[in-house]
Amino acid sequence: MKITDAQRRHRLVAQHFARASTTEGVVSSLLALHATDPATVYLSVLARARTLGLLDVRDAMYERRSLVRLMAMRRTMFVVAHDDVPMIHAAASLGVSRTMRARLIKQVSTLPTEPVIDDVESWLAATEAETESALRSMGTATGAELSAAVPGLKTALLPTTDKVYDVKRYVTSEVLVMMAAEGKLVRVEPRGAWTSRRHAWAPIDHWWPDGIPELDETEARTVLARRWLEVFGPATLDDLQWWTGWNKTQTRGAVSGLDTETVELTEGDGIMLSSTTFDKPSETSVMLLPALDPTPMGWKHRTWYLGEHKAPLFDTFGNIGPTIWSGGRIVGGWAVTGSGEVVTELLEDVGSTASKAVAAEAERLTTLLDGTPVVPSFPTPLEKKLRGKK
């Protein structure tokens, strides 16, 4: 079966741009929100849920706790539904945590440290135990607060060359992120504004009294592959492998037990669930999606919705900035100025109706931001250009 780019764009609009009335509804429709940049979570929701504000997103994460921030696919931060955490933890986070643990042990074993560590395994076990104990007594704490209470977290890796980037660095963040990926800690509300990157930590039993439920990793990968195909299919196996961070064997194994069909895509062979439908969306949605939104970051092969617009919209590390969408395609980009104003630039002619819709959406987001600047973690050429105008 041949699936055209137009069919895929219709399905993208229907699945990814559907109106939602709750933060949880947005997350459910997208499987997971990218959360490397804290602002992305809020802006991804507000783009799709027109009746919500910033406090609604915060309440879902930190009051209702129906959403959880965790390190998962590709060693990337995501926000996912509370009920999906056990599945994603087994399918992705545990593999990431094993890689992180091995890397940390190798670094501390082979690089000069301050203080000198003679028994790395014993040092790490003691540091983890002391961190969990300190966090339980504090309730919540930042990395800085924990490192002040746990000497092992202030262990430093010393430079071995005179390179500018080779500097003394503490293991605090690596240990805490690894422990979170293993399911021992959880990120909670950051200190400061909603755009802050200074997240605090809490013991995992604040969210799961008995710890994250354990699932079989192989079965969890199959469930995650099915859920991903529901949201992002049809797609190539390369797309799925890239998004999950699995190897080829894990990727093929995950889809082998699913009811799928092989299809022909512009990029080559692809797959989709046999239940996949291609109903044309009721409207051509205009969307202003934030940097690293899950829609543009959902596939490895992006030409069918990105076109020739990669250069101005991606940074040198492959991170996509804020994008303007019309008819299931990227047609421009946007940025937030220092005064909290959303400014846009179309990269192609989309007609007067869509242009007016873009302007209206920019005005709506400006009102919601209420003067809050959003400073990108990974500025793109177009963002730098737009921010420089103001």
What is the amino acid identity at position 139?
A: G
Tens of pLDDT along 180-195?
999 999 999 998 889 9
Average pLDDT over residues 291-307: 96
Q: What percent of the chain has pLDDT over 90?
A: 88
Residues 6 or more apart whose CB falls under 8 angstroms from that of 349 comprise none
> How confident is residue 76, by pLDDT bands cut at 50, 70 and 90?
very high
CA–CA dist 388, 390 (Å, integer): 5
| 329 close to 307: Cβ distance less than 8 angstroms | yes
Whole-number pLDDT of residue 282: 62
Tens of pLDDT along 9-22?
999 999 999 888 99
Whole-number pLDDT of residue 165: 86
Average pLDDT over residues 2-13: 94
> How confident is residue 285, by pLDDT bands cut at 50, 70 and 90?
confident
Whole-number pLDDT of residue 281: 67
Q: What's the chain's average pLDDT?
A: 94
> How confident is residue 284, by pLDDT bands cut at 50, 70 and 90?
low
Reply yes or no on whether the pLDDT at 137 is more than 80: yes
> How confident is residue 389, by pLDDT bands cut at 50, 70 and 90?
low
CA–CA dist 90, 87 (Å, integer): 5
Reply yes or no on whether the pLDDT at 236 is more than 60: yes
CA atoms within 13 A of residue 18's CA, in its CB half-sphere: 20
Reply yes or no on whether the pLDDT at 328 is more than 90: yes
Average pLDDT over residues 51-70: 95
Whole-number pLDDT of residue 60: 96
Reply yes or no on whether the pLDDT at 145 is more than 80: yes
**Which residue would you say has higher pLDDT here, 97 or 283?**
97
Whole-number pLDDT of residue 283: 62
